[in-house]
Amino acid sequence: MTKRLTIAIQKKGRLNQDSVDLITKSGISFSTNGERLLAKSSNFDIDILLVRDDDIPSLVEKKVADLGIVGENVLLEYKSVRKSSKTVNVLDLGFSKCKLAFAKPEGKKIKSLNNKKIATSYPGLVKKYLKENSLKADVIKINGSVELTPYVGIADCICDLVSSGATLEANNLVEFKELLTSQAVLIANSTSSKLKQKRISQLKERFKGVIDARESKYVMLNCDLSNSEKICNLLPGADAPTILPLKDKNKVAIHALCQEPVFWETMENLKKTGASSILVMPVEKVLN
């Protein structure tokens, strides 16, 4: 049995760059040139399959790919109509955050979704929502330009992805109910072989290391020894700060790995509490 893994990622679109970055930052080298659908890594036993995002859950389900990177929205839509699916989310990846929400033309009154016509690319999820809320409505599946449907008389409202809301605003639509929030996720088949699962776990740890490093910062600062306790308490997500003596016996240097974002406000608070020479540095990898 081959121990080589295959990971399916989006070929072109919003998920592509972040997926490629995550894989390469995990120490996996590969090159994708031109229209090639398959890229082989030269330094890790993995092949990268470049496909449309909608095909990724079924490729993992059929074990054509062992892993996939896809929006949770696409995974949940896939699973909403395949109850016995073995494709599961194994890691939240923290990018491509968006939500699936109902929106209506500005000024139009919609008190309930009952008996309405709803246009969406996510019919499975919308129907599930309607069922769970004992509502009856007409769900119309549209693959693109969903936001235009209320204006051409096809639908009363839509259910579509929203991130900043700019597309809705540009089309005079307003959100009135959120269905779910989504982000990119790593998916795998829960029935993959023991050997593959071992390799998947190794890769997952590397991905986690890259994700944790994204938020993490290494902070160094100086302060009075008498203030060190207070200063340590202000460092976000720092489990075990290192306190080092300085030449001036009343002063110390504090070094800490902060595993939560360090904002300007945090630095200003540190300064107010007596810290000086505050350095915040990026972290490339974390292995906890």
Instruction: Note the maximum CA span of the chain.
Output: 77
Query: Is 14 a residue that touches ligand ATP (CB under 6 A)?
Result: yes
Nearer to ligand ATP, 71 or 150 (CB): 71
Is-contact 30 23, C-beta < 8 A? yes
Distance, in Å, from the CA atom of 145 to the CA atom of 148, rounded to the nearest integer, reads 6
Half-sphere exposure of 43 (CA within 13 A, CB side): 9
- Which sign, positive or negative, has the C-alpha torsion 164, 182, 159, 59? positive
Contacts of ligand ATP in 150-179 (CB under 6 A):
161, 163
Residues 89-118 contacting ligand ATP, CB under 6 A:
96, 98
Report the partner that residue 189 touches, choosing among ligand ATP, Zn ion, none (CB closer than 5 to 8 A by kind).
Answer: none
**Spatial distance between the Cα atoms of 5 and 204, rounded to a whole number of angstroms:** 12
Of 1, 4, 26, residue with least CA distance to 186: 26
- Tell me which of 7, 8, 15, 39 binds ligand ATP, using CB under 6 A: 15
Select the span of 7-15, 41-49, 187-195, 230-238 touching ligand ATP (CB under 6 A).
Answer: 7-15
Interface with ligand ATP, residue 120, by CB under 6 A: no
> Which one among 3, 36, 52, 108 touches ligand ATP, defined by CB under 6 A?
52
Q: Which residue is nearest to ligand ATP (CB)?
A: 71
DSSP SS3 for 66: coil
Q: Name which of 73 and 266 has its Cβ closer to ligand ATP.
A: 73
Of 44 and 102, which has the nearer Cβ to ligand ATP? 102
- Residue 37 found at the interface with ligand ATP (CB under 6 A): no
Question: Phi-psi bin for 92: left (phi > 0), alpha (psi -120 to 50), beta?
Answer: beta
Residue with tokens 């800490």: 256
Q: Which stretch binds ligand ATP (CB under 6 A): 47-55, 129-137, 198-206, 268-276?
A: 47-55
Residue tagged 């990846």 (tokens): 93
Which residues contribute to the site for ligand ATP (CB under 6 A)?
Answer: 10, 12-15, 52-54, 71, 73-74, 96, 98, 161, 163, 182
